[in-house]
Structure 1
Amino acid sequence: MVEGRPPKPTRRSTIADVAARAGVDRAVVSRLLNADPRLSIRDSTRQRVLDAIEELGYQPNAAARSLRTARTRTIALLVPDYINPAYGEIIEGAEAAAARVGCSLMTASLQSADDSFERYAERLGHGRVDGLLLAAGGVHGTPEDELERLGLPWLCVNRTGPGRRRYVVLDDERAAAVAVEHLVQLGHRGLAFISGPQDSDSARRRRIGHLKAIKAAGLARGPIVRGNYTPRGGAEAMAKILEAEQRPTAVLVANVASATGALHTARRMGVRVPQDISVIAVHDLTVAPYLDPPLTTVRMALDGLGARAVELLLERSANAEIRETVREPTELVIRESTAPPS
């Protein structure tokens, strides 16, 4: 810089810059930012555009009109509770995706609210937000016609169900199957399963994946003990498994929170992991490498699920059917809690 001369102002990125970086026409960028329901592009192209927006720090002049009836540029995400750390990752992904198109994310927990879901949703329907995401148990038992009466675009996140026509979920069946396949490859033949709550849709899908993988491996079904996605639930379920007359050599746990309790029970009962019993869990939360022993997991894109939920809510019309499964990445993360049976 020449002394005494002020620095040149940094030029603000434009739609043309984003289009050039992503290798698409400017109209594609504009239609994506404005959630044009008629826009049909590949997921890879959409991701290139979103990456270019982030890399260039592009800020739309008037914040994206992401919903056809946008007024507040705010989306609500309702979760069952804040205790399960998986929801934190979903929220993080959803918040980042909303910010990329100039929207804000408002989160709430049914557990922390005194009101019922119906009363909470009714308030949102009075112009407070432009759309509603409902994570997992947040919509249990809620008929879709009640959601329609809100007059808001809505989308279920990681929960399907009979007649549900708007949802995006993770591939929980595949995740459970990957876990079973790992244990079978290690040589385990006696496998137990600590499942999730009875009314949990994700728990149902993981149970199906577990059973299909057991059958595909030609193994007899081992004990299945229901947990509740909490450390206490996992601890109690593990105690039942270890107190059985015929103890399995490996246990698949439906989520990491339950697995922390399962590991605690094993230590308390003098059962060594993985020497006496292997433990693997679905999801790979930040705590997993720091457990004792470090927990083998099947990693799933929780933040990607949150981001995709926002994208679908913004891009699709309020009455369009949405039935999507986020399949990638689903990968095995091997740590010290699994080993061949002794």
Structure 2
Amino acid sequence: MDVAEAAGVSKATVSKVLSGSQELSVRPETRRRIRDAAQALGYRPHSGARALAGASTHALALLVPALANPTYVTIARGTYQRARELGYLSLLAEDFHGQEADEAFSDLVQEGRVDGLLVASARPGHPLVDVLSRSRVPHVFLNRAVEGSGRNVTMDVALSSVTALNHLHSLGHSSIGHLAGPPGIAPSDTRKKAFVRHAQTLGLAAAPTVSGDFTEDGGVAAALELLTQTEKGQAPITALYTSSLAQAIGAMGAIRSLGLRVPEDISVVGNDDLPIAGHLHPPLTTVAMPLHELGVAAVDALVAAMEGAPPSDVVVPTEPRLIARGSTAPPRGRV
């Protein structure tokens, strides 16, 4: 039994009502009966059919992996402001890695509740990536690239490691550790590989890496592992470069818990820059990434796709830049 038969109306009427069209004059009780029948039968309107009916929502959705990560605050601000300029509303949602979340966003795609998706949570194996590969809903991936998708909006993440290492090396550090993000996350893997590669280019005495969450707790755990498990014969680490600002805050706490000082004993550079970095004790040296520009570029790419442009990868041209503050200094014995 289909929805039209269950509700006692024509298929054309069902199509108009479920696509959100206001062109057809239908009594409220009939609309209610159609929606009740659709729900009972588990019917989901096809997003393509909604688009053909002209039922644009003028809404975009930004899916981020964690609202607690301050990095995404700046990205979200860029997407929201650019979307408003172009006549769209940008919605923000968190991917909390649960089945209900995956189903909710699959529904969002399949039911055409938004005109396009900005996906910053394309973790490996995410069900939404598969759903989107089979969907006609316009979408782009930002900050986390999906290989082969041809619709990635990214930054020069590798250059962030080069920038941090050049700064620390110029101060005289030759034993520098890196707190990487979780393995399997594209930006983290890229940053880690660039760190190891450029450390070799600079001829550093040691460049060990440890993976951890992008959080403060992740920074504490990774820093303690690096600073307390130095291999025999390896020079003591005198500087750390972290994958996130939150990790850097945790690392500074871990350093103090070991009775060491920042920057007198250990210099710290954090990735990404937010106003709080300048108010820490000591103020944190950071590599500022073009996060706002990333959000703007992602909206531009998505709207272009919605208007029929072929998908293409975009790299934000703004390069990472070092913001030197009080958390970095020459190692002991160097002036």
TM over 0.5: yes
Once residues 257 and 304 of structure 1 are traced to their aligned partners in structure 2, the CA distance between those partners, rounded to angstroms, is 21
What SS is found at the alignment partner of 2:246?
Answer: helix
Give 2:287's aligned residue: 298
For 2:182, give the aligned amino acid.
P
Residue in 2 that maps onto 1:33: none
Aligned to 1:264, what secondary structure does the other structure show?
A: helix
Letter of the 1:192 partner, please give it: G
Percent identity over paired residues: 34
8 Å Cα contact 1:144-1:164 kept in structure 2: no
Q: What residue is the counterpart of 2:4 in the other structure?
A: none
* Equivalence map 1:54-203=2 (5 Å): 71-111=56-96, 115-137=100-122, 140-142=125-127, 144-203=129-188
1:321 matched to which residue of 2? 311
| SS at 2:297 equivalent | helix
Partners of 1:156 and 1:289 lie apart in 2 by 31
**TM-score with structure 2 setting the length:** 0.77
Contact 1:79 1:138 in 2 (8 A): no
Give TM-score scaled by structure 1 length. Answer: 0.75
AA matched with 2:194:
G
Match of 2:297 among 304, 308, 315: 308
Counterpart CA distance in 2 for 1:323 and 1:137 is 15
Deviation at 1:178, TM superposition (A): 0.2
The alignment yields a C-alpha RMSD, in angstroms, of: 2.2
Aligned equivalents of 1:324, 1:201: Cα separation in 2:
15
- Report the structure number with the largest CA radius of gyration: 2
Q: Which residue of 2 aligns with 1:330?
A: 320
| Match in the other structure for 2:224 | 239
Structure 1, unaligned stretches of length 5 or more? 1-66
Q: Deviations over 1:71-91 (max 9, x none)?
A: 111101111120101111110
Give yes or no for contact 2:142–2:153 (8 Å, CA) kept in 1: yes
1:211 & 1:78 partners in 2: Cα distance? 31
Q: Does the C-alpha gap of structure 1 residues 241 and 138 become closer, same or farther in structure 2, counting only changes over 3 Å?
A: closer
Gaps of 5+ in 2: 1-50
Specify the code of the residue in structure 1 equivalent to 2:185.
S
* Kept in 1: contact 2:172–2:331 (CA 8 A): yes
CA distance in 1, matches of 2:67, 2:243: 18
Q: 1:98 is aligned with what amino acid?
A: A
Partners of 1:179 and 1:172 in 2: how far apart?
Answer: 11
